Amino acid sequence: VNEEELDIRDGFQWSPDGHFIAYWQFDTSGVGEYTLINDTETPYPALHRFAYPQPGTKNSAVRLGVVEVSRGPTRWVQTPGDPREHYIFRVDWAPNSQELAVEYLNRLQNSNQILLADARSGKVRVLLEDTDKAWVDVLSDFHWFDAKSFGFLSERDGWRHAYLFSRESGQVKLLTSAAADVIAGVAVDEKAGWFYYIASPANATQRYLYRTRLAGQGEAEQVTPSSQAGSHSYDISPDGRWAFHTYSSFDRPPVIDLVSLPEHKSIRALETNAAAAEKAKELIAAPAEFFQVAVDGGAKLDGAKLDGWMIKPRGFDPAKKYPVLVFVYGEVASCTVNDRWGGREALFHRAIANDGYLVVSFDNQGTPAPKGRAWRKIVYGTVGILSSQQQAAAIAQLMKDRPYVDGSRLAIWGWSGGGSNTLNVMFRSPGLFAAGMAVAPVADLRYYDSTYQERYMGVPAENAKGYHDASTINIAEGLAGKLLIVHGSGDDNVHFQGTEMLMNKLIQLGKPFDFMDYPNRTHA
């Protein structure tokens, strides 16, 4: 769960001088044990058991220790409160070998404290706290500007802005003030006085490099050339003079070059992907179309403009009618409408289009698009309901706007959260889609992991109705049309259990469906 939801993959941090190791310790005693059954490798089924907390159940107790490499016992950092009701999300040496910066979340994940811990004594003090009525943004890492200050991102004013925190004064200074989101911090050029970050104020589907003065004065500057429309990522050198730059768009595989900053002059190509681009031409009959569609139908839907893309088949004729495949995710963890190369997923959709389909995708409210806090957090406590309403409204509007869309031949598919939303749309809007394919869906929110589900839904004891209403197993009687459910029986993330329970419910309701089991396969 911590690997999947908090990206804790190694569980330790070396000090800069190499004399100490700070490490997480997880005590899983009392945590519910999950069992996966492997029927395919041995004559008798093999059982794989592991601790897995579901919403509202006991979490691991987590604490942070520091050990001196040469000698001595572990010193435990004195984090406050119940260790089973908090998460140690990030740890960083601050930026010396005597102190640790610790990102400390409460269980509901609506309070994020930055603690400063003494590595030798374990004593802590709170440097900074960020709160939110829904869930709070967390720092993927600490951006140290010097030994006495660091940068962080917060949605406290309604936008994800960058702030500078001074350890000496405790003051917080706003670095980015535009009515736009900072998507991610990238680097600090302390000598020249610049903070580099990724943003896209004018187009939520794209990504560009910006910079702003550390002094907090003046307008932000776009560093990425406007002529390179699409999505860009950067690995900037410590002195701020160079960057490894990756650039792609929906129809263009990524290219990587070395650029000088801030003029963004290309010094030399590192990876052109020329062979991939040439092969892709065989599938790319025409550029994908990006568009926006307005949806209505209720107070929460009024005025929302959803970003979307459409892939048309080779030889497209607007006078004809075409069947449509909608690709959906729709949850808080990811967007599907991105102007960047999508790899095998994009090639799959191109192949489907060239078989005579229109392939489209929409990003509803609640997805992590850079459109402000309200856009992302409107779904708190009701994940899956608004998304399905807006997905249905978007395809209905598309049928009105585009006469070549065949409303009698609509299909929808998605994976994981997209599998859940495939079920949501089919069950909540019966008859709109003739067919759907749900891959590894969460059919009952009570049985996914505590960390993810409680972040966006709260705990079941305080939001029982929300968990019930948002779980597709409770609205399965709405199924009309052909449904294919796909799941790996060895999925240790979204467990096969939920799909079996959903299938059992559909059987009880007399609802026919198709099913594909991938024996002992994972969520991937």
- Which amino acid, residue 329? Y
Q: At residue 300, does pLDDT exceed 60?
A: no
3-state secondary structure at position 8: coil
CA-to-CA distance for 286 and 247, rounded, in angstroms? Answer: 20
Instruction: Say what angle helices 417-428 and 385-401 make with each other, to 10 degrees.
Output: 70
Averaged pLDDT for residues 332-346: 95
Q: At residue 298, does pLDDT exceed 50?
A: no
3-state secondary structure at position 50: strand
503, containing H or E segment: helix 496-509
Q: At residue 8, does pLDDT exceed 70?
A: yes
Least confident of 38-42, 145-149, 478-482: 145-149
Which of 432, 436, 246 is CA-nearest to residue 341? Answer: 246
What is the pLDDT at residue 165?
A: 92
How far does the chain reach from its first CA to its final CA, in angstroms? 16
3-state secondary structure at position 469: helix
What is the pLDDT at residue 296?
A: 67
Contact by Cβ (8 Å): 461, 56: yes
Sheet holding 514-518, edge to edge: 289-295, 304-311, 358-363, 322-327, 405-415, 435-439, 482-488, 514-518
Phi, psi of 404 (to 5 degrees): -80, -5
What is the pLDDT at residue 101?
A: 94
Predicted confidence (pLDDT) per residue in 26-83, tens digit: 999 999 999 999 999 999 999 999 999 999 999 999 999 999 999 889 999 999 999 9
Q: Which two tokens stand for residue 29?
A: 């005693």
CA-to-CA distance for 127 and 386, rounded, in angstroms? Answer: 37
Q: At residue 475, does pLDDT exceed 90?
A: yes
Percent with pLDDT over 90 in the chain: 87
What is the pLDDT at residue 217?
A: 77
What is the pLDDT at residue 302?
A: 58
245, containing H or E segment: strand 242-249
What is the pLDDT at residue 285?
A: 81
What is the pLDDT at residue 303?
A: 67
Which of 197, 198, 199, 186 is CA-nearest to residue 238? Answer: 186
What is the pLDDT at residue 72?
A: 81
What is the pLDDT at residue 168?
A: 87
Averaged pLDDT for residues 160-175: 92
Percent with pLDDT over 70 in the chain: 98
Q: At residue 385, does pLDDT exceed 70?
A: yes
Q: Which two tokens stand for residue 345?
A: 């997923």
| pLDDT, the chain, mean | 94
CA-to-CA distance for 181 and 179, rounded, in angstroms? Answer: 7
Predicted confidence (pLDDT) per residue in 233-263, tens digit: 999 999 999 999 999 999 999 999 999 999 9
Q: At residue 503, does pLDDT exceed 60?
A: yes
CA-to-CA distance for 509 and 476, rounded, in angstroms? Answer: 8
Q: How much of the chain is in helix, strand and coil states, percent to nearest 5?
A: 20, 35, 45
Radius of gyration of the chain (CA): 25
- Which amino acid, residue 374? A
Least confident of 170-179, 354-363, 400-409, 481-490: 170-179
Contact by Cβ (8 Å): 142, 155: no
Contact by Cβ (8 Å): 185, 210: no
Instruction: Report the range out of 211-215, 281-285, 460-464 with the highest average pLDDT.
Output: 460-464
What is the pLDDT at residue 515?
A: 98
